[in-house]
Amino acid sequence: MSSEAFAGIEDPGKIFLNPSVQELVEQSLARHEGRLSDTGALVTQTGTRTGRSPKDRFLVAHGASKSKIDWGAVNKPVTPEVFDVLDAKARNHLVGKDLFVIDGYVGADPNHQIKLRVIAEFAWHALFCKQLFRRPTEEELAGFEPEFEILAAPTMQADPSLEGIDSEAFIGLDLERRRVLVIGTHYAGEMKKSIFSAGNYLFPQQGVLSMHCSANIGPNDDVALFFGLSGTGKTTLSADPQRRLIGDDEHGWSDSGIFNFEGGCYAKCIDLSEEREPQIFRAIRSGAVLENVVMDESGHVDYADDSLTENTRAAYPLEFISNHVPEGRGGHPNTVVFLTADAFGVLPPIAKLTREAAMYHFLSGFTSKLAGTEAGVTEPEATFSTCFGSPFLPLPASVYAEMLGEKIAKHDSEVYLVNTGWTGGPYGVGKRMSLPYTRAMVAAATSGALRGVETVKHPIFKVDIPVSVPDVPDEVLDPRSTWDDPGAYDEKASELAAMFVKNFDRFAAMVSPEVVAAGPSIE
């Protein structure tokens, strides 16, 4: 397809409108954007930016959204004038260049969808979007009218002389005009997360709780949600061969149940192995995209090599997972799991949460950053990411927490806090929680085996610890008993509790006293 003008771009080169996966792979190879691995996946590199660039992400401050957005360090404002200058420069930058155009949508629920069009400078970016977003049928494409546009011009650089811009990258989200502009970065995840942020603004206004979580469904149509930050085991634990995968990252909870926003998966693949994560490993084949992995001349990928980045990624369509749910939907969740990797070694391996405690821990979004993962980190550090997805929430956090509280109460969903981190002592002293034990605890929770089980309340964190879990030794369940020195445990637990309380101070005025009281005690 060719045109004198397309989407405000004068005299572009050839326009590839909704090309096939194979054509996009061939174009990527012909343009030297990537190489094929020995499994047929397209291997690409994103240059100096191997992850998201949060300091270069902006929301356009105008219209009705201006008064609704929770402005601050995460949601930084930019004027419409600055956005328009960069948008015009991006379209001028694309004059004469071939364009790869993908139409897709977000939201497996027909009543809650965002139709979008991606206009990409790189063929591999278009392939990424074709595999990650939901794909319309041929009939749907015939009358497709996009509501949102993503314009990706990675080889163009932003102008730091413009107000608020201080690097060559710019990721701008205009919620009023339904446009996303991505320039100066090759990292494909910016496109995915920009539209996720848009969904986190639009869907709650439709009564849908938008969530940064994975979801699966059991043999009795029982649905489970898994929240957790990087390194907590969200992808590993939700990819259960005994359960079908609804999705691995972004979901909505509507009046009808759970639905996946996406049509694919974007999985971290550092240290990936067929033994530990067979479903993900086998999904990396022809049509999949690998970012920033190290590959030798024969096409063999070394997943343990983090010399480019620890944030190596694989993008592939959901149908590459053998036991996925094609319709991308399920009923209301029976079980909600909050995953945390506590490097302080004090949280119990599993605990039941009341509605108020669920809202407290949802707002807290706790996990640990380990020594050595970042420059200057020499001891484990507490990390709190609101609603387990702080970088992608345009609205105040209380909006999402209140919706969660209402929905788990209405649908009698049981909520569990599962610690996949350390036991017997902090990082460097204790040991990582046994994965088979964690799997057994999660299986007990999702199967309903822990409903009504006897529990004891943790004296500091106030969560309810089951006294027994099938296939897990009782002594593992009480974290204090796993430490050689119970006094040292109490001291470390109080230390972490104080961090929780300090972090939650910013939410105290937004929620009920009962939610505040459900948090840890530091008396």
Which residues are CB-neighbours of 285 under 8 A, at least 6 positions away? 39, 40, 41, 316, 320
Residue 457 is among the residues annotated as catalytic for this protein = no
Place of tokens 């996990």: 367
Answer for the pair 176, 201: CB distance below 8 angstroms, yes or no. Answer: no
Widest CA span of the chain, in angstroms?
75
State residue 203's pLDDT score.
98
Residue 361 has pLDDT above 60, yes or no: yes
Answer for the pair 24, 11: CB distance below 8 angstroms, yes or no. Answer: no
Note the pLDDT tens digit of each residue in 104-125.
999 999 999 999 999 999 999 9
Note the pLDDT tens digit of each residue in 345-356.
999 999 999 999
Task: Give me the torsion for CA of 132, 137, 141, 142, rounded to 10°.
Answer: 170
Residue 234 is among the residues annotated as catalytic for this protein = yes
Residue 374 has pLDDT above 80, yes or no: no
Residue 3 has pLDDT above 70, yes or no: no
DSSP string, 24-64: HHHHHHHTTS-EE-TTSPEEE--TT--S--GGGEEEE--TG
Residue 52 is among the residues annotated as catalytic for this protein = yes
State residue 71's pLDDT score.
98
Catalytic annotation, pick one of 91, 186, 212, 407: 212
Write out the H or E segment, with its range, that includes residue 118: strand 114-120
Catalytic annotation, pick one of 130, 135, 234, 361: 234
Buried-exposed string 429-450: b where 16+ CB fall within 10 A, e elsewhere: ebeebbeebbbbbbbbbbbeeb
Give me the amino acid identity at 474: D
Catalytic annotation, pick one of 49, 52, 57, 251: 52
Cα–Cα distance, 25 to 61 (Å, whole number): 38
Answer for the pair 363, 353: CB distance below 8 angstroms, yes or no. Answer: no
Give me the amino acid identity at 456: V
Cα–Cα distance, 137 to 246 (Å, whole number): 19
Cα–Cα distance, 152 to 121 (Å, whole number): 6
State residue 371's pLDDT score.
45
Pair type for strands 257-260 and 329-330:
antiparallel
As a three-state string, the secondary structure of 294-337 is: EECCCCCEECCCCCCCCCCEEEEEHHHCCCECCCCEECCEEEEE
> What does DSSP assign to residue 107?
-
Place of tokens 């364009």: 99
Residue 313 is among the residues annotated as catalytic for this protein = yes
Which residues are CB-neighbours of 36 under 8 A, at least 6 positions away? 25, 29, 42, 43, 299
State residue 370's pLDDT score.
61
Cα 324-329-332 angle, rounded to 5 deg: 120
State residue 172's pLDDT score.
98
Q: Which of 329, 339, 111 is nearest to 213 (CA)?
A: 339
Q: Assign 214 to helix, strand or coil.
A: strand
Residue 134 is among the residues annotated as catalytic for this protein = no
The whole-chain average pLDDT of the chain stands at 94
Give me the amino acid identity at 142: A
Note the pLDDT tens digit of each residue in 9-54.
999 999 999 999 999 999 999 999 999 999 999 999 999 999 999 9
Is residue 220 packed enough to be buried (19+ CB in 10 Å), middle (13-18) or exposed (0-12)? exposed
Residue 56 is among the residues annotated as catalytic for this protein = no
Catalytic annotation, pick one of 3, 39, 167, 230: 230
Cα–Cα distance, 222 to 413 (Å, whole number): 11
Note the pLDDT tens digit of each residue in 418-471.
999 999 999 999 999 999 999 999 999 999 999 999 999 999 999 999 999 999
Is residue 252 packed enough to be buried (19+ CB in 10 Å), middle (13-18) or exposed (0-12)? buried
The pLDDT > 70 percentage for the chain reads 97
State residue 17's pLDDT score.
96
Which residues partner with 215 through β-bridges? Answer: 225, 247
- All structural domains of the chain: 5-34+56-206 (3.40.449.10), 265-320 (2.170.8.10), 332-517 (3.90.228.20)
Answer for the pair 450, 352: CB distance below 8 angstroms, yes or no. Answer: yes
Cα–Cα distance, 185 to 47 (Å, whole number): 8
Note the pLDDT tens digit of each residue in 201-253.
999 999 999 999 999 999 999 999 999 988 888 888 888 888 999 999 999 99
Q: Which two tokens stand for residue 11?
A: 């005299």
Residue 230 is among the residues annotated as catalytic for this protein = yes
Catalytic annotation, pick one of 89, 135, 193, 369: 193
Catalytic annotation, pick one of 117, 313, 352, 458: 313
Q: What global pTM score does this model have?
A: 0.94
State residue 276's pLDDT score.
83
Residue 8 has pLDDT above 80, yes or no: yes
Residue 338 has pLDDT above 90, yes or no: yes
Note the pLDDT tens digit of each residue in 285-328.
999 999 999 999 999 999 999 999 999 999 999 999 989 999 99
Is residue 501 packed enough to be buried (19+ CB in 10 Å), middle (13-18) or exposed (0-12)? middle
